[in-house]
Amino acid sequence: MGGFKKKILCIGAGYVGGITMAVIADKCPDYRVALVDIDHEKIDKWNSDNLPIYEPGLDEIVKRRRGKNLFFVKEMGKAIEEADIIFVSVNTPTKMFGAGAGMAADLQYWEKTAREIKKYARSDKVIVEKSTLPVKTADAMERILSAENKKVHFEVISNPEFLAEGSAIRDLEEPDRILIGYKDTPAGKRARDDIVELYAHWVPKKRIITSNIWSSELSKLVANAFLAQRVSSINSITPLCEKTEADISEVARAVGMDSRIGNRFLNASVGFGGSCFKKDILNLVYICRYYGLNEVADYWEGVVRINEYQKERFVARMMDVMFHTLANKRICLFGFAFKANTSDTRESAAIYIAKRLIEEKAALVITDPKALENAKKDLAGDNAKVEYIEDPYLASKGCDAIAIMTEWDIYKELDYEKIYASMRKPAFIFDGRNILDHKRLFEIGFNVYPIGMPGLVHFS
């Protein structure tokens, strides 16, 4: 085990911990990188050929580094004791009980980690907040770590993660920026330099920015709020387009060509999902209310409200055009992941749509190239009413309607004539991602309902 310049431990081997540490190990062969998790089954999976998550490019990196300088371990105490730098990447979901229920971040996993670190550490450590946390969390961390502790020094650094699932490896290998928040003390500066040195192995210095620790914590919440706001902004215009015969993709193109606005993240959709946008905005809203900033809180809460509206609107439009009843109609959801190129379904718009369709007594068929296992877990209480079929041709056979939930490339290349022939008529397609060739589908015979564009319909 000798010969390594530094030893890194990451507590929490989930999406962020697993992928970030794999890339760090790959880029820093002189560092020993270990991950530990309370979920021992997950650790077993990380040590197998069947990794616990699907992310393009991840398998190759893990294969390359595992057993060399990347280790997935179960014994927390030993791992903490050995480490010089400890990243904490545990989940910080929305709190579902007590004060702040449904809004605030649930910090119980976070606090448990702090107590474990304190229990096992025998030497000074740099503690890196990788999880997304409310502003001022580092203070709480430091208080827990330093209570009745004079011997070991813990320096807390904030280093939020900006990767997006599906493109995580590229986001980590070529990040727009690495943000490191630190306390302006001699120990704080030393810890900052340690983390800068780590990333400087592959990230150009000009992309590594440092700031005070509170700005760093807050910037992560604000970045996610801004990104989600763009999706809600474009989605908020879609019902207006549907009423006025404007076309949202033409509006997005015209608006996005203004270099001040920019053309990315303007794809209208059935609604944003993912484990973070909603939780981080609600967390921001909660913090604003805590400080009495109700106008600010209302403003950001609107981003989440529009997203809920967009999902409900999708179902309402289906009802409306399918003769006001979905009971016993067979509806096939194309995609269940919250976006393409991931198996992750957390907060996916598809969950909401599926549950609403089940409420309406539709017979549901779900297809997805990577996310069917997660879909089954998400709909566990309703599985008797749902079929899961990986082949989209078989899945859509005999259906009244197809609803595109995820923008998987494979759905663009299917033989829709063959699909149409196998469906019940009149056949409907609801394109919740605007990825299909709508005119062509209409010519085949489908009634086509994209987002933010008038429907192409065979009957008046």
158 binds, among ligand NAD, ligand UGA, none (CB under 5 to 8 A by kind): none
Q: Based on CB atoms, which residue is closest to ligand UGA, 264 or 324?
A: 264
Q: Based on CB atoms, which residue is closest to ligand UGA, 188 or 450?
A: 450
- Whether 183 and 213 have beta carbons less than 8 Å apart is answered as yes
> Interface residues for ligand UGA in 260-289 (CB under 6 A)?
265-267, 269, 272-277
227 binds, among ligand UGA, ligand NAD, none (CB under 5 to 8 A by kind): ligand UGA
- Whether 391 and 367 have beta carbons less than 8 Å apart is answered as yes
Residues in the chain: 460
- Whether 455 and 449 have beta carbons less than 8 Å apart is answered as yes
The residue behind tokens 């999406």 is 15
- Whether 90 and 114 have beta carbons less than 8 Å apart is answered as no
Smallest separation (angstroms) from ligand NAD to the CB of 347: 11
Contacts of 417 (CB under 8 A, 6+ apart): 444
Binding mask 112-151 for ligand NAD (x = CB under 6 A): xx-----------------xx-------------------
- Whether 344 and 15 have beta carbons less than 8 Å apart is answered as yes
Q: Based on CB atoms, which residue is closest to ligand NAD, 12 or 432?
A: 12
Smallest separation (angstroms) from ligand NAD to the CB of 283: 9
Which position among 20, 132, 159, 210 is part of the footprint of ligand UGA (CB under 6 A)? 132
The reply to whether 276 belongs to the active site is yes
Which position among 4, 6, 29, 38 is part of the footprint of ligand NAD (CB under 6 A)? 38
Stretch that binds ligand UGA, among 84-92, 159-167, 413-421, 450-458 (CB under 6 A): 159-167
Smallest separation (angstroms) from ligand NAD to the CB of 110: 8
Q: Based on CB atoms, which residue is closest to ligand UGA, 374 or 447?
A: 374
Smallest separation (angstroms) from ligand UGA to the CB of 154: 25
> Does residue 137 touch ligand UGA according to CB under 6 A?
no
Smallest separation (angstroms) from ligand UGA to the CB of 380: 22
- Whether 198 and 31 have beta carbons less than 8 Å apart is answered as yes
The DSSP bridge partners found for residue 128 are 87, 157
Query: How many Å apart are CA 67 and CA 87, to the nearest integer?
Result: 20
Smallest separation (angstroms) from ligand UGA to the CB of 402: 18
Smallest separation (angstroms) from ligand NAD to the CB of 192: 20
Query: How many Å apart are CA 263 and CA 258, to the nearest integer?
Result: 8
| Catalytic, out of 10, 276, 288, 399 | 276
Stretch that binds ligand NAD, among 12-20, 187-195, 287-295, 364-372 (CB under 6 A): 12-20
> Does residue 219 touch ligand NAD according to CB under 6 A?
no
Q: Which two tokens stand for residue 207?
A: 């992309």
Which position among 8, 9, 10, 17 is part of the footprint of ligand NAD (CB under 6 A)? 17
Q: Determine if the peptide bond prior to 52 is cis (ω within 30°).
A: no
Query: How many Å apart are CA 222 and CA 225, to the nearest integer?
Result: 5
Smallest separation (angstroms) from ligand NAD to the CB of 40: 9
User: Within 13 A of 428's CA, how many CA atoms are on the CB side?
Assistant: 22
Q: Based on CB atoms, which residue is closest to ligand UGA, 181 or 274?
A: 274
Which position among 164, 200, 372, 389 is part of the footprint of ligand UGA (CB under 6 A)? 164
Which position among 26, 37, 242, 347 is part of the footprint of ligand NAD (CB under 6 A)? 37
Cα four-point dihedral sign 413, 417, 420, 421: negative
> Interface residues for ligand UGA in 229-248 (CB under 6 A)?
231
Q: Based on CB atoms, which residue is closest to ligand UGA, 188 or 335?
A: 335
> Does residue 366 touch ligand NAD according to CB under 6 A?
no
Contact positions vs ligand UGA (CB under 6 A): 132, 161-165, 224, 227, 231, 265-267, 269, 272-277, 338-339
Catalytic residues: 276
Contact positions vs ligand NAD (CB under 6 A): 11-17, 37-39, 42, 89-92, 109, 112-113, 131-132, 161, 163, 165, 275-276
